[in-house]
């Protein structure tokens, strides 16, 4: 049998994400390769209580079909949090619930991209976005990511070319680099965009996880009709529920809703209700403060151990999030470190899949949220051995 | 701000599904327009118990990220049920979990369709499939659905044209018509397909809901490498969990898995675990027998009332599922019956959105699973008034 698959599949990058999850499942490997929030910080008792309440209240409604847009009280909670936390006008009408941020990537590309259309991204750029966008066969143009955000001159040149339908970035504690756009660059990026027809897509998966607990204002604040924000409960409550959202201007949301309905009718209603119940029963800020405290300690520990054990490796110094990016000495390849690491039972992620132009040969992404402090200590010793030994050969 | 949306959006049919859900939410309207399983038949106590057990066992794992393919024990359960119930060889490796059958429609189209490719469907055809497929800009060719399945001559002509990438149908208690393909036609359809490069997509959302509790064998049994089956827990356990699956040959599943990962990483893991726990704790056959008994009584009641109150209306006589299709007298339009019905507080669904060629002007889809027997009695009286009054004007 000959299957006549669509051309778009030839554009799909070889996926690493599932591979990462599989490696992460081997308990003998200490993994810095994945992107899981810490399992020990999931408030299972709080979620259990919220679940019990949903099951007591009106369980058959929670288990029935619902509308595509999502559970209104949950959308109202999200909008209220934008207002109180970031001072941005936001209403539930501008929020659509999706299956985690990843679904935003797919559906947003679906409403904007014809084959051959141009998309802008950071370099390095988020792997999950590359995977989602690629299936719509765009031309992806990248702008170098500096310590404080995209290279402004390159960004302006790209936007002025009028080519890109949208520019996608992760302004807060980016995956994979761990860098955060400065407030000045956000303002400048908004100023550049305002005269164009390009939309800004700010993926804000990590905005709640700044170590100083201080929110950073999205560029959407300056160009509300020209930017969308996506958010997720995966990093602050529980990824297994697959609940995220998009916050978008009404005219964009209308199209988004059509493709969401065609994609899967609506997101899991049971978990939307559980999440909402959890959120109104608990102090989310306290919960996040707890997560952030742990992540900050782990991040510092990882950075310190890198500096102490392998000073020949340089790295970013994240202000939050779950990742940092390390640059290897010139003679070392990230793939060799990955492969040798697996043998020594420590996993890092080569930078390769975050570049569409063959870059990332000398960078590795390191996750500091999943492993315990003990594991980080042991894993960094293993990694130092890997790097030192590879440099000898 | 001018948004430069993708061309595919202009192919999206005006959606009715969300409208249906909204109408269904008005408690003063007795609705036969929706497609909800009966809320009173959702085993909320059983699901509560299963949920408690998942939360006791290893809650943080259930709330964490997982692999794209889905929870292995759930996939094993599904495969085992294909083997025991239908006698089809099936293994967990051939099963991928998705967010309800609707996501199968989207992702299956995504792996097969380039713009301009041909797809075959029944006429009338399932609205949700039309919505999902249309966004990939195919040419949709339809084959008339007769009482016992697709018109074989037309089907053969379509397949022999070598045009269609796949043919999509709902062989068991189709939505919207309520008809079931005969075993002879399934065999004939497989025989026609076997010499072609066209894949058969059997959407089996209702196969567990035959009133005689007797399974019908899918055509995939005859052409295992050339057919996929999709299934769903929405109609037999709970739609709000959004858990369905595709059962497909390995080479198709490999591509499907790539687009599933790009679409949303994986389906809700928490609910996958709850569902699996529920399934191993309960007698699914008994539960289904209970549902089917209720649906059969409701279906008979609706058919009898149609015959008694509006004998000028003809209708299909379903062997299972949740829908029947009624054909109005020639002088009546389905849209008029819908609009007048809303005024009289009874909702039916005009056949229009199930046809891509302007058909359905004289047919209405009627759901018998959602309303209670009392509501069916009252609603049918209202509907009879609507029809009789419209005929007088």
Segment A11-69, tens digit of pLDDT: 887 666 666 667 767 889 999 998 899 999 999 999 999 999 999 999 999 999 999 99
Structural domain boundaries enclosing B173? 44-281
For range A205-232, the mean pLDDT: 97
Segment A215-225, tens digit of pLDDT: 999 999 999 99
Starting from the edge strand earliest in sequence, which strands make up the sheet with B349-350, in order? B314-315, B323-327, B363-367, B349-350
CA distances from B67 to B15, B62, B92 (A): 32, 12, 14
Q: List helix spans (H) across B310-372.
A: 334-343
Distance CA(A320)–CA(A309), nearest Å, equals 23
Segment A170-201, tens digit of pLDDT: 999 999 999 999 999 999 999 999 999 999 99
Answer whether B18 sits within 8 Å of A68, measured CB to CB. Answer: yes
* One domain for residues A187 and A66: yes
**Count of CB atoms within 10 A of residue B77's CB?**
17
* Omega of the bond leading into A78 within 30 degrees of 0 (cis): no
Pick from A2, A42, A135: which is nearest to B60 by CB?
Answer: A42
The per-residue pLDDT for B162 is: 79
* Residue of B177, B206, B231 whose CA lies nearest to B355: B177
Distance CA(A50)–CA(A55), nearest Å, equals 9
* One domain for residues A56 and A21: no
Q: What is the DSSP string of B202-240?
A: EE-SSTT-BTT--PPPPGGGT-GGGEEEEEESTTTT-GG
Residues of B with Cβ-Cβ distance to A239 under 8 angstroms = 63-65
The per-residue pLDDT for B269 is: 97
Compute chain A's Rg from CA coordinates.
21
The length of chain A, given as a count of residues? 393
String of b and e for B262-292 (b: at least 16 CB within 10 Å)?
bbbbbbbbbbbbbbbbbbeebebeebbeebb
The per-residue pLDDT for A17 is: 60
CA distances from B376 to B295, B329, B368 (A): 12, 21, 8
In the numeric block, which tokens belong to residue A319? 């202000």
Q: Is residue A164 part of a domain?
A: yes
Structural contact between residues A228 and A200, judged by C-beta atoms closer than 8 angstroms: yes
Pick from A110, A241, A251: which is nearest to B135 by CB?
Answer: A110
Percent of chain B with pLDDT over 90: 92
The per-residue pLDDT for A26 is: 82
- The mean of the pLDDT values for chain A is 95
Residues of A with Cβ-Cβ distance to B26 under 8 angstroms = none
Segment A321-356, tens digit of pLDDT: 999 999 999 889 999 999 899 999 999 999 999 999
Q: Is residue B6 part of a domain?
A: no
Which of A281, A298, A333 is at the close of a domain?
A281
Residue in chain B closest to A38 (alpha carbons) equals B64
Overall number of domains in chain B: 2
Residues of A with Cβ-Cβ distance to B132 under 8 angstroms = 262-263
In DSSP terms, which residues pair with A349 in a beta bridge?
Answer: A365
Pick from A2, A15, A242: which is nearest to B264 by CB?
Answer: A242
CATH of the domain at A200: 3.40.640.10
Answer whether B8 sits within 8 Å of A135, measured CB to CB. Answer: no
Q: Is the pLDDT of residue B243 over 80?
A: yes
Do the interacting molecules here have an ipTM over 0.85? yes
Beta strands in chain B (DSSP E): 30-31, 95-98, 118-123, 139-146, 149-150, 164-169, 199-203, 227-232, 244-247, 314-315, 323-327, 346-347, 349-350, 363-367
The per-residue pLDDT for B12 is: 80
Q: Is the pLDDT of residue A130 over 80?
A: yes
Confidence of residue A162 (pLDDT cuts 50, 70, 90): confident
Distance CA(A230)–CA(A175), nearest Å, equals 14
Q: Is residue A7 part of a domain?
A: no
Q: Is residue B198 part of a domain?
A: yes
* One domain for residues A325 and A265: no
Structural contact between residues A124 and A140, judged by C-beta atoms closer than 8 angstroms: no
Q: Is residue A3 part of a domain?
A: no
* One domain for residues A275 and A295: no
Segment B317-348, tens digit of pLDDT: 999 999 999 999 988 999 999 989 999 999 99
CA distances from B196 to A157, A244, B113, B161, B187 (A): 51, 42, 17, 9, 15
Structural contact between residues A349 and A365, judged by C-beta atoms closer than 8 angstroms: yes
Answer whether A267 sits within 8 Å of B242, measured CB to CB. Answer: yes
* One domain for residues A299 and A203: no
* One domain for residues B186 and B55: yes
For range B247-269, the mean pLDDT: 97
Q: Is residue A334 part of a domain?
A: yes
Answer whether B55 sits within 8 Å of A68, measured CB to CB. Answer: no
Distance CA(A177)–CA(A180), nearest Å, equals 9
In the numeric block, which tokens belong to residue B232? 């769903």
CATH of the domain at A351: 3.90.1150.10
Distance CA(A284)–CA(B96), nearest Å, equals 34
The per-residue pLDDT for B1 is: 85
Residue in chain A closest to B3 (alpha carbons) equals A197
The per-residue pLDDT for A393 is: 79
* One domain for residues B245 and B293: no
Answer whether A131 sits within 8 Å of B262, measured CB to CB. Answer: yes
Q: Is residue A336 part of a domain?
A: yes
* One domain for residues B340 and B249: no
Which of B281, B311, B326 is at the close of a domain?
B281
Confidence of residue B220 (pLDDT cuts 50, 70, 90): very high
Packing angle between helix B250-264 and helix A100-112, nearest 10 degrees?
Answer: 100
Which of B247, B281, B315 is at the close of a domain?
B281
The per-residue pLDDT for B21 is: 62
- The mean of the pLDDT values for chain B is 95
* One domain for residues A262 and A329: no
* One domain for residues B258 and B368: no
Percent of chain A with pLDDT over 70: 97
* One domain for residues A30 and A153: no
* One domain for residues A83 and A137: yes
For range A281-307, the mean pLDDT: 98
SS3 content of chain B, % helix, strand, coil (to 5): 50, 15, 35
Q: Which of A13-27, A49-63, B176-190, B351-365 has the lowest mean pLDDT?
A: A13-27
Q: Is residue A299 part of a domain?
A: yes
The per-residue pLDDT for B76 is: 98
Residues of B with Cβ-Cβ distance to A249 under 8 angstroms = 1
Residues of B with Cβ-Cβ distance to A99 under 8 angstroms = 99, 264, 267-268
């Amino acid at each position: 049998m000959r299957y006549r698959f669509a051309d778009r599949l030839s554009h799909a990058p070889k996926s690493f994400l599932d591979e990462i999850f599989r490696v992460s499942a081997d308990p003998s490997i200490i993994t810095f390769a994945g992107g899981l929030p810490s399992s020990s910080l999931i408030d299972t008792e709080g979620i259990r209580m919220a679940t019990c309440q949903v099951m007591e209240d009106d369980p058959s409604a929670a288990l029935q079909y619902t509308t595509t847009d999502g559970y209104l009280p949950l959308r109202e909670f999200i909008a209220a949090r934008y207002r109180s936390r970031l001072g941005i006008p936001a209403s539930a009408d501008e929020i659509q619930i999706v299956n985690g941020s990843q679904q935003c990537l797919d559906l947003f590309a679906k409403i904007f991209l014809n084959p051959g259309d141009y998309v802008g991204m950071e370099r390095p750029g988020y792997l999950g976005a590359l995977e989602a966008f690629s299936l719509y066969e765009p031309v992806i143009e990248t702008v170098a990511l500096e310590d404080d955000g995209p290279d402004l001159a390159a960004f302006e040149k790209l936007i002025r070319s009028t080519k890109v339908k949208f520019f996608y970035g992760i302004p807060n504690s980016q995956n994979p680099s761990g860098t955060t756009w400065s407030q000045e660059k956000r303002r400048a990026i908004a100023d550049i965009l305002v005269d164009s027809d390009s939309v800004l897509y700010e993926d804000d998966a990590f905005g709640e996880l700044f170590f100083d607990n201080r929110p950073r204002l999205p560029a959407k604040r300056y160009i509300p009709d020209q930017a969308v924000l996506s958010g997720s409960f995966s990093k602050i409550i529980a990824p297994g529920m697959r609940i995220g959202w998009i916050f978008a201007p009404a005219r964009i949301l209308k199209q988004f809703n059509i493709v969401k309905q065609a994609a899967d009718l609506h997101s899991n209603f049971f978990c939307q209700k559980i999440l909402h119940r959890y959120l109104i029963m608990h102090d989310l800020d306290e919960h996040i403060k707890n997560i952030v405290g742990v992540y900050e300690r782990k991040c510092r520990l990882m950075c310190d151990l890198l500096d102490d054990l392998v000073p020949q490796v340089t790295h970013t110094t994240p202000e939050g999030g779950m990742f940092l990016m390390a640059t290897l000495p010139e003679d070392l390849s990230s793939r060799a470190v990955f492969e040798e690491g697996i043998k020594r039972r420590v996993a890092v992620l080569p930078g390769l899949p975050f570049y569409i132009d063959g870059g990332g040969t000398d960078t590795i992404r390191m996750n500091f949220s999943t492993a315990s402090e003990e594991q980080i200590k042991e894993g960094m010793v293993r990694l130092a051995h890997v790097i030192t030994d590879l440099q000898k050969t």
